[in-house]
Amino acid sequence: MEIKKTIQETRECVKAWREKGLSVGLVPTMGYLHEGHGSLVTKAKQENDRVVVSIFVNPMQFGPNEDLASYPRDIEKDRAFCEKLGADLIFHPEPEEMYTSGFCSYVDMSVLTEELCGLSRPVHFRGVCTVVSKLFHIVQPDRAYFGQKDAQQLAIIKRMVLDLNMDLEVVGCPIVREEDGLAKSSRNTYLNTEERKAALVLSRAVRLGEKMVSDGEKDASVLLAAMKAEIEKEPLARIDYVKAVDGLTMQPKDMVEASMLVAMAVYIGKTRLIDNFICE
């Protein structure tokens, strides 16, 4: 498995595969890979002849007071992880390779980006959509793989692909959790021992919400109030949002219905964590 740092080298490699009639899967990541990413690579391996993993901490999707500088990075560990899972190529560009001097083109979506994380992270999804469309143009994959943990991101990317007639399939993969329930995230590494324990309040709230739905709760405000009360029991937790929205449009829902997304962002100390579930 090779690491390519330039767009041109990556394109040449993918072109050679294409000439042999091979299909290509792309797993876009910001690195510091964990089993959540691993599940995407494994799925991509099952469904494609070749798999590209992009590792790029995208400055454009971080706000001015966010964790761009401290975002964890370990390319050697990531290389070994990808190699073990059978990925064929890592695309690992520098910011200057992706954003050349004078860069001024953006993919800016509305509606879906204006709810949930978009409210507290106003520039985030513009950065995500821009970099993901660049990655799609560079790699031109048949399929691209994203985790359901970032449910809003997944819905936005699916909509972007539809709206802009991008010729690929976007595949969503289930949330991968630690044994105690915490959703896997590169940002879990920021948590100290006490915060790590406190962070379990997110998955506890998810389980409570799922149980209420399976027990027949129909009123979204009752569901959300119970989940918020559960989170508020934890002194280290500060709620950014807990909301029930349509799983495709991200618009708020009053009544519980199939494919509704219940999503939350909660600060544990300074670390902002997200989690969610979809109503069956």
Instruction: Report d(CA 27, CA 132) in Å as an integer.
Output: 10
Query: 128 or 250: whose CB is closer to ligand PAF?
Result: 128
CB 85 within 8 A of CB 42: yes
Question: Among 115, 150, 195, 234, which residue interacts with ligand PAF (rule: CB under 6 A)?
Answer: 150
Q: Does 271 bind ligand PAF (CB under 6 A)?
A: no
Q: What distances in angstroms separate CA 82 from CA 90, 225, 252, 266, one per listed residue?
A: 8, 41, 38, 30
Q: What tokens appear for 189 in the block?
A: 């590494």
End-to-end CA distance of the chain: 40
Query: 123 or 226: whose CB is closer to ligand PAF?
Result: 123
Cβ 67 to ligand PAF shortest distance, Å:
13
Q: What distances in angstroms separate CA 123 from CA 64, 98, 120, 127, 192, one per listed residue?
A: 9, 18, 9, 6, 28
Site track 103-142 with ligand PAF (rule: CB under 6 A), x = hit: -------------------------x--xx----------
Provide the sign of the torsion angle of the four alpha carbons 137, 140, 142, 144, taken in this order. negative
Phi first, then psi: give them for residue 258, nearest 5 degrees.
-60, 145
Question: Among 10, 39, 48, 58, which residue interacts with ligand PAF (rule: CB under 6 A)?
Answer: 58
Query: 150 or 195: whose CB is closer to ligand PAF?
Result: 150
Q: Does 230 bind ligand PAF (CB under 6 A)?
A: no
Cβ 127 to ligand PAF shortest distance, Å:
7
Window contacting ligand PAF (CB under 6 A); options: 28-36, 64-72, 86-94, 160-168: 28-36
Query: 25 or 28: whose CB is closer to ligand PAF?
Result: 28
Q: Does 209 bind ligand PAF (CB under 6 A)?
A: no
Cβ 160 to ligand PAF shortest distance, Å:
11
Instruction: Report d(CA 39, CA 179) in Å as an integer.
Output: 15
Window contacting ligand PAF (CB under 6 A); options: 22-30, 44-52, 85-93, 191-199: 22-30
Instruction: Report d(CA 121, CA 62) in Å as an integer.
Output: 8
Query: 109 or 231: whose CB is closer to ligand PAF?
Result: 109
Q: Does 61 bind ligand PAF (CB under 6 A)?
A: yes
Question: Among 14, 24, 26, 30, which residue interacts with ligand PAF (rule: CB under 6 A)?
Answer: 30
Q: Does 152 bind ligand PAF (CB under 6 A)?
A: no
- C-alpha gyration radius of the chain: 19
Query: 48 or 133: whose CB is closer to ligand PAF?
Result: 133
Helix extents (H) in 106-184: 117-120, 124-139, 151-163
Considering CB under 6 A, how many residues would be counted as binding ligand PAF? 10
Establish whether 37 is a catalytic residue.
yes
Instruction: Report d(CA 246, CA 259) in Å as an integer.
Output: 7
Which residues, 6+ apart, have CB-to-CB distance to 127 below 8 Å? 58, 59, 60, 61, 62
Instruction: Report d(CA 170, CA 26) in Å as an integer.
Output: 10
Residues noted as catalytic: 37
Q: Which residues bind ligand PAF (CB under 6 A)?
A: 28-30, 58, 61, 128, 131-132, 150, 153
